[in-house]
Amino acid sequence: MTEENEMAAENAAESSPTHSGFVALIGPTNAGKSTLVNRLVGAKVSIVSHKVQTTRAIVRGIAIHNNAQIVFMDTPGIFKPRRRLDRAMVTSAWGGAKDADFIMLLIDSERGLRGDAEAILEGLKNVPQPKLLALNKVDRVNRESLLALAAAANEKIAFEQTFMISAENGSGCDDVMDYLAKTLPEGPWYYPEDQISDLPMRQLAAEITREKLFLRLHQELPYSSHVETEKWEERKDGSVRIEQVIYVERDSQKKIALGKGGETIKAISSASRRELSEILEQPVHLFLFVKVRENWGDDPERFREMGLDFPR
Ligand SMILES: Nc1nc2c(ncn2[C@@H]2O[C@H](COP(=O)(O)OP(=O)(O)OP(=O)(O)O)[C@@H](O)[C@H]2O)c(=O)[nH]1
Ligand SMILES: [Mg+2]
């Protein structure tokens, strides 16, 4: 920004009122909700993977656009729950919708209304807030099928606005921000100007490691594991020592997570460490420990750590 522009922006901020509010992003798992939040915030606040059920609890990503502070709530994908953790994730997603000024339903344009999208549209009928539709992954489909999808979804729910976007390459994302910035209620900002997320650093660090685990491990393993940061020690030389525990449910899973000669855990650790040093802008010494805890999926304490209510 040139100096002149900067002054103009400052003057505008002084003369026109600020807007702020919460936008809950909900949708089927894998629709691209977390990718979109990261894109709109302009930084990584929520982890992303090609696997389903990556996000486990609500993450708030905070963006500023024109005079508005827009708080995006990235929620776990909504699907038919089986385990206790699944139930807690889906409950948390719908709970996030309750607190929002706007609900934005994100749909993978390629998948369309197949699978869970249909049931979510049905569930949205009971939600009172204004609703927006975002058809994501437009880079994957042609215009005709997009228009047909927009029409089909709008037939079920009267959306205030339909956006066609690609969270991956950013196409259409400015329209979303322009719309929200002017439509959210007038009011003071909720968070300090430089805050981009509500996630404490220790938790984000655990999430980054969990992302690498989702990318590296397969079948049931990502779903049977959970990561917690146990120690965080700032060192005099400007580096940080981080110790994390990866909980798995069985000894056989621990073996796979470690890999032959510790190969797998080493790869996970170095990928996570690299990203953490980038985010923290300091050297990171990362130590990962794999522990078997058979019933972590039924342990209320683990749910609390994740920011989830424990369903009875
Ligand atoms: N081609 C394409 N892929 C995308 C786009 N947005 C997201 N993806 C990919 O879709 C996959 C799922 O993305 P996520 O952001 O993790 O999806 P999510 O909705 O948060 O998924 P859950 O947290 O599991 O509910 C990842 O592989 C992304 O790279 C897009 O606009 N175009
Ligand atoms: Mg997600």
Is the pLDDT at 13 greater than 80, yes or no? Answer: no
Give the end of a domain, one of 131, 148, 183.
183
Residue 74 CA to ligand 2 center (angstroms) comes to 7
Residues 123 and 168 in one domain: yes
Residues 63 and 135 in one domain: yes
Is the pLDDT at 8 greater than 80, yes or no? Answer: no
On whether residue 195 sits in a domain, the answer given is no
Kindly report the CATH number assigned to the domain that includes residue 33: 3.40.50.300
On whether residue 194 sits in a domain, the answer given is no
Residue 275 CA to ligand 1 center (angstroms) comes to 19
On whether residue 144 sits in a domain, the answer given is yes
- Mean of the per-residue pLDDT values for the chain? 95
Mean pLDDT, rounded, for 209-234: 97
| C-alpha closest to that of 48 among 144, 134, 136 | 136
Atom of ligand 1 at shortest range from CA of 106: 19
Which tokens belong to 173? 């994302």
- Counting residues of the chain whose pLDDT is more than 70, the rounded percentage is 95
Residues 159 and 289 in one domain: no
Helix axes of 173-183 and 33-41: crossing angle, nearest 10 degrees: 70
Residue 36 CA to ligand 1 center (angstroms) comes to 8
What is the full DSSP assignment across the chain? Answer: --HHHHHHHHHHHHHSPPEEEEEEEE-BTTSSHHHHHHHHHTS--S---SSSS---S-EEEEEEETTEEEEEEE-PPB----SHHHHHHHHHHHHHHHT-SEEEEEEETTTTTTTHHHHHHHHHTT--S-EEEEEE-GGGS-HHHHHHHHHHHHHHS--SEEEE--TTT-TTHHHHHHHHHHHSPB---SS-TT--BSS-HHHHHHHHHHHHHHHH--TTTGGG-EEEEEEEEE-TTS-EEEEEEEEESSHHHHHHHH-GGGHHHHHHHHHHHHHHHHHHTS-EEEEEEEEE-TTGGG-HHHHHHHT-----
pLDDT digits (tens, 9 = 90+) for 231-251: 999 999 999 999 999 999 999
Q: Which pLDDT does position 99 carry in this prediction? A: 85
Q: Cβ(273)–Cβ(284) under 8 Å?
A: yes
On whether residue 193 sits in a domain, the answer given is no
Residues 139 and 263 in one domain: no
Q: Which pLDDT does position 2 carry in this prediction? A: 53
Q: What are the pocket residues of ligand 1 if the criterion is a CB atom closer than 6 Å to any ligand atom?
A: 27, 29-35, 48-50, 52-55, 76-77, 136-137, 139-140, 166-168
Atom of ligand 1 at shortest range from CA of 165: 31
Q: Which pLDDT does position 3 carry in this prediction? A: 58
Residues 124 and 222 in one domain: no
Atom of ligand 1 at shortest range from CA of 166: 31
Closest C-alpha residue for ligand 1 atom 23: 55
pLDDT digits (tens, 9 = 90+) for 250-298: 999 999 999 999 999 999 999 999 999 999 999 999 999 999 999 999 9
| C-alpha closest to that of 165 among 149, 181, 152 | 149
Residues 12 and 121 in one domain: yes
On whether residue 34 sits in a domain, the answer given is yes
Kindly report the CATH number assigned to the domain that includes residue 274: 3.30.300.20
Q: Cβ(282)–Cβ(271) under 8 Å?
A: no
Q: Cβ(54)–Cβ(103) under 8 Å?
A: no
On whether residue 190 sits in a domain, the answer given is no
On whether residue 189 sits in a domain, the answer given is no
On whether residue 254 sits in a domain, the answer given is yes
Please report which confidence band the pLDDT of residue 15 belongs to, taking 50, 70 and 90 as the band edges: low
Q: Which pLDDT does position 16 carry in this prediction? A: 84
Residues 9 and 76 in one domain: yes
Closest C-alpha residue for ligand 1 atom 13: 32
Residues 165 and 22 in one domain: yes
Q: How many domains does the chain have?
A: 2
Residues 146 and 275 in one domain: no
Tell me the residue range of the domain where 26 lies: 3-183
Residues 34 and 102 in one domain: yes
Residues 252 and 301 in one domain: yes
177 by Cβ neighbours in 10 Å (0-12 / 13-18 / 19+) ranks as middle
